[in-house]
Amino acid sequence: MPQPSFPAPPFDAQSPTAWTSAMPQATERAPKPAADWLAWLLALAVLVFMAVFGLQAMRWSLAGGWHWLWMLVGLPFFGVFSVLAVTAVATRLRERRRVRVALENMSLERGEGLRVGEPLELRLRATVPAAQEGERTVAPQRIAMRLMLHRTLDAVGECCCEAIASREETRDGRLLYECELRADPGLDAPQWSVELHDAADHTGVPILTAALRRLPAR
């Protein structure tokens, strides 16, 4: 007669479907298409031409007489367009986009439950969210999966096994993180759970946590 399994007691699990890293976001230069660069260079050339024209008009005004009227044209042209040209160059050089490490549509597969002394297969499937304006989104390269035991139902979990899962791409375009965890024989606890962390994130905030159902030994 098969032995009954032990249902998992209530557990404060955090199983969101989307996640964004709490680490400070890196920035990078955003690649620009050739057409964008050409348009920017043409606009800059026009600004420089107008600024040079203003400077030349001020030089004509030095001839005296009625030529001083050129100063009324040259001074505003040189002042306005030279500032615009410098601003355009400075803005272009400072243009950067943030790199956001994030996942969405997350789904954690953890089998029927945990049997102490036997491997527990974990699979996290997810996708990379669409990037917003001024950013690029990427998935974490590696995820640390930890098996946690809770000595009492309200106790903080203690890590008894950890494995690193590397990012893989599946045929349907989703991402897959897969690994095995194992609780050493002799360990016993009323509550077991798994925690997933970005391996590069040192803030300690998990991607998600999930309770495990304890299964009897075979």
Q: How far apart are CA 144 and CA 158, in angstroms?
A: 15
Mean pLDDT of 197-208: 87
pLDDT at 6 over 80: no
Q: For the CA atoms of the chain, what is the radius of gyration?
A: 31
Whether the Cβ atoms of residue 15 and residue 193 lie closer than 8 Å to each other: no
Mean pLDDT of 90-109: 89
More confident residue, 11 or 197: 197
Mean pLDDT of 180-192: 85
pTM (predicted TM-score): 0.69
Q: What distances in angstroms separate CA 60 from CA 50, 52, 63, 64, 76, one per listed residue?
A: 15, 12, 6, 8, 15
Nearest to 191 by CA among 70, 59, 11, 66: 11
The two three-digit tokens of residue 176, written as one number:
């897959």
Q: How far apart are CA 100 and CA 106, in angstroms?
A: 17
Q: How far apart are CA 196 and CA 159, in angstroms?
A: 11
191-198 and 135-138 as β-strands: parallel, antiparallel, unpaired?
A: unpaired
Is residue 28 exposed (0-12), middle (13-18) or buried (19+ Cβ within 10 Å)? exposed
* Phi, psi of 196, rounded to the nearest 5 degrees: -115, 130
pLDDT at 7 over 60: no
CATH number for region 101-212: 2.60.40
Q: What are 47-74's pLDDT values in tens digits? A: 999 999 999 998 888 887 888 888 888 8
Whether the Cβ atoms of residue 97 and residue 27 lie closer than 8 Å to each other: yes
> How sure is the predictor about 1, in pLDDT bands with cuts at 50, 70 and 90?
very low
The two three-digit tokens of residue 212, written as one number:
């495990």
Angle at 182 between CA 184 and CA 172, to 5 degrees: 180
